[in-house]
Structure 1
Amino acid sequence: MFSDEHTEIGTEAEKGSPMLLTAGLVDAHIHPDKSSWSDPWMSRRPAETLADLIGNNIKALSEYTHSVEERAFALLSHAHRNGTLAMRAHVDVGTEVGLANVEGVRAAAERIPTLDVQIVSFPQFGMLTNPGTVDLMAASLTAGADIVGGIDPIGLEHDLHGHLDAVFGMAQAASRDVDIHLHDGGEEGLAEIREIAARTVAAGMQGHVTIPHAFALCDSSLPSLRETLDAVADARIWIATCALGPDPVPDLALLESHGVQIAAGSDGVRDSWSPFGTGSMVDRAHLLGYRTGAITDADLERCWRIATASGARMLGIPDISSDVTATSPTRLEFDVPTIAQLVVDRPAPTRVVRHGHDIH
């Protein structure tokens, strides 16, 4: 078995039994307020750029049938039954939606006490470029949000230092973690990542900053890639990857060789951006393996570790541990012989247990 901090990621329930015990799944990056889960089918509009996708998102706001709370609750409940025990939810905050999405997702999460949900106050529609959003983000931290978010300081906001000043300033004032979407690629994207790393160290926030997507880290041809990976590792920044469709995926072995911490998430699940997504992190571990060319058992086991125990460390959830036994109060059970086969076959768990309670 692949080991994570000297603990196995899967064990047999009892000697001779085919039942496999594993750590709980963690969705380190999901957008439940955007999901159309429980709504009628949504026909998506074409989009070629990030701006197109954000525009489609705004148009969809008036087209949902159910409330944010009901759609989020339906998705969170489905994910929970399929083994997700904790998640980081990126929830839109801005003049277009106010604090309604944060309040709706928090209300949904409170209906599922055995699911840990961290909410990121996410300026999807711009922060500095969308006047009033900074004040709303600050207010969201007392309305249900836990973490200060950000998005493409250069690509969307066109002001690297102004955007990061606002994000880190807000986080330090409220003693909150930071989680910055970064789609920007190329050397410019790597420069943004190094600046985030430098600010993380200067603020003493090592281990408390996450960069989802980080597409620039996926391009092995960039001259400053390895320098940037070392900066990310030194700042103990987490990278959250989602293995989405045509999006770049990182070289997992390369990142880990530099000491970079990696977690996995679903990103959007059947929202205005894409019709795809199942809400199952079993499926996401499979996609991560598929997209990164996993072949050996060790490759597949790494994908499972990233989707379970690594995500739990990122979110700071100690009971979601890879050190599980048949009596562990938090565990998943699968009717499959090995982790490698689990990742390939994608079975649903036969049993989900959290804090000693069976999840149905």
Structure 2
Amino acid sequence: MTTHRDHTDTTTTDGPEPAATLTTPGFVDAHIHPDKTTWGSTWLSREPVSSLSDLIAADLAAQLSADEDVETRAFRILDQAVRNGTMAMRAHVDVSSELGLRNVHGVRAAAERLKGVLDVQIVAFPQFGMLTNPGTLDLMEQALGEGADHVGGIDPVGLEGDLEGHLGAIFSLAEKHGRDLDIHLHDQGPDALAQIREIARRTLAAGMRGRVTIAHGFAVCDTEEPDLPATLDAMAEAGVWLATCALGDSPVPTLDLMERHGVRVALGSDGIRDSWSPFGTGSMVDRAHLLGYRTGARTDAELERCLRLATTSGAELVGAEAVLGYEGPGSPDRVEFAVPDAARLVVERPAPLRVVRGGRTI
């Protein structure tokens, strides 16, 4: 990623640093759940939970009791993201027998209101189970014709209890409709690493190299696992992406290790002010800051890498031409900040001076 500094005044050599504007590519949120957010709405108090199943149950209850429709809530966080320089995102949107396709329709309607300034890919996401939730698999296929762009999956073993069945179903959907695949994987330990290697194997067998993403992938964050190097090599060979979100106390990948093995990584927000977490702002600068903090970034190069994962790396994942086409201060798609360099942007987290899309300040 290239950023550019534009000094706007001059000083003597003994004076302060010249005032400067840093120009960056647009930001990409590679993993967000806009259908769940309460951003700008009534505060949601969260009860203690002890497992993934508890979180999922609380999530469904919160969605069913929401006093605003999905489009209204999703639009607010999408608009907030745009104001903070996000130009593209991959949105994971719940599809289930309980919710039907209302979330897909709502997020797509919200995205259409921002067409031209925000590119939104929707992943049909079986949050509440697919094989274990009768009717959801059929709805997943229906969603691909009613606003969803890609196929999602979730913990084939930890949640569904059927590795072959779950992967077989989602890979079949992706192959049949020519869509990419993005799989939530919260499972950890040797069995989870084995799941990842199976995902990589299927990716190559299906001719989908570079078109499969593992979201969270907590298993690859444990550097003590003896099977980790082989798993990372399998991911790299198959071009399987890792989308990480630097969440709370959740594991984060060792970025140097990912680079050494050739695993491509992109950064996302995950849930913002939803039943899972009270945190999140819709700013990918904030998220880059959190990633730097969680991974112990110290050097300018390490901080700049965090910014890259929030911009051009994410753009490679989602194919965001507005971000990939960035050429510097005169680019028609750019974000400008009142900081002298990328490292301080990640540390200080300023709001943008301006966001320019298609040559127009928005």
> Distance between the aligned counterparts of 2:166 and 2:297, measured in 1?
37
Q: What residue is the counterpart of 2:70 in the other structure?
A: 68
Q: TM-score, normalised by structure 1?
A: 0.96
Q: Which residue of 2 aligns with 1:311?
A: 314
CA distance in 2 between counterparts of 1:193 and 1:357 reads: 43
Q: What is residue 55 of structure 1 aligned with on the other side?
A: 57
Find 2:6's aligned residue among 10, 13, 19. Answer: 13
Q: Secondary structure at the match of 1:179?
A: strand
2:145 pairs, out of 142, 147, 150, with 142
Paired amino acid for 1:193: I
CA deviation after TM superposition for structure 1 residue 14, in Å: 5.6
The one-letter amino acid of 1:110's match is E
Question: How many angstroms apart in 1 are the aligned matches of 2:64 and 2:127?
Answer: 17
| Residue in 1 that maps onto 2:346 | 343
> Which string of whole-angstrom CA distances, capped at 9 and with x for unpartnered residues, describes residues 60-108 of structure 1?
1233221100000000000110011100000000001000000000000
Following TM superposition, by how much is the alpha carbon of 1:320 offset from its aligned partner in structure 2, in angstroms?
A: 0.2
Identity %: 61
The alignment partner of 1:275 has SS state of: coil
Q: Is the 8 A contact 1:22 1:322 kept in 2?
A: no
**Gaps (5+ residues) in structure 2?**
10-18
- Report the CA distance shift for 1:322/1:217 in structure 2 as closer, same or farther (over 3 A): farther
2:85 pairs with 1:92: no
Distance in 2 (alpha carbons) for counterparts of 1:106 and 1:170: 20
CA contact (8 A) 2:27 2:284 kept: yes
What value does the CA root-mean-square deviation take over the aligned residues? 1.1
Equivalent-residue separation in structure 2 for 1:62 and 1:193 (angstroms): 33
Partner Cα separation in structure 2 for residue 147 and residue 190 of structure 1:
24
* Structure 1, gaps ≥5 residues long: none
Aligned partners of 1:107 and 1:319: how far apart in 2? 21
Q: Deviations over 1:208-238 (max 9, x none)?
A: 0000100000000101100000000001111
Which of 283, 290, 293 is the matching residue for 2:296? 293
| 1:154 paired residue number | 157
Which has the larger displacement, 116-125 or 56-65?
56-65
Residue aligning to 1:202: 205
Report the Cα distance in structure 1 between the residues aligned to 2:354 and 2:335, rounded to whole angstroms.
6
Q: Secondary structure at the match of 1:61?
A: helix
| Partner in structure 2 of residue 42 of structure 1 | 44
Post-superposition offset of 1:326:
2.0
Could you state the TM-score of these two structures normalised by the residue count of structure 2?
0.96
Distance 2:217 2:54 in 1: 20
Tell whether the 8 Å contact from 2:35 to 2:70 is kept in structure 1 after alignment.
yes
Q: Is the 8 A contact 1:118 1:146 kept in 2?
A: yes
Separation (CA, whole Å) in 2 of partners of 1:318 and 1:54? 34
Amino acid at match of 1:45: E
User: Residue deviations 1:263-319, cap 9 Å, x none?
Assistant: 000000000111111111110000000000000000000000001000000001122
Shift of 1:323: 4.5
The one-letter code of the counterpart of 2:58 is N
Mapped pair 1:165 → 2:158: no
- Structure 2 distance, partners of 1:29, 1:334, is 24
Residues 123, 151 of structure 2: 8 Å contact kept: yes
Aligned partner letter, 1:274: S
1:103 counterpart = 2:89:
no
Whether contact under 8 Å (2:8, 2:21) holds in the other structure is: no
Kindly report which structure 2 residues correspond to 1:210-359, keeping only aligned pairs within 5 A, or say none. 210-321=213-324, 323-359=326-362
Secondary structure of the structure 1 residue equivalent to 2:322? coil
Distance 2:97 2:40 in 1: 26
Supply the distance in 2 between the matched residues of 1:322 and 1:310 (Cα, whole angstroms): 13
**Which SS does the other structure have where 2:29 is aligned?**
strand
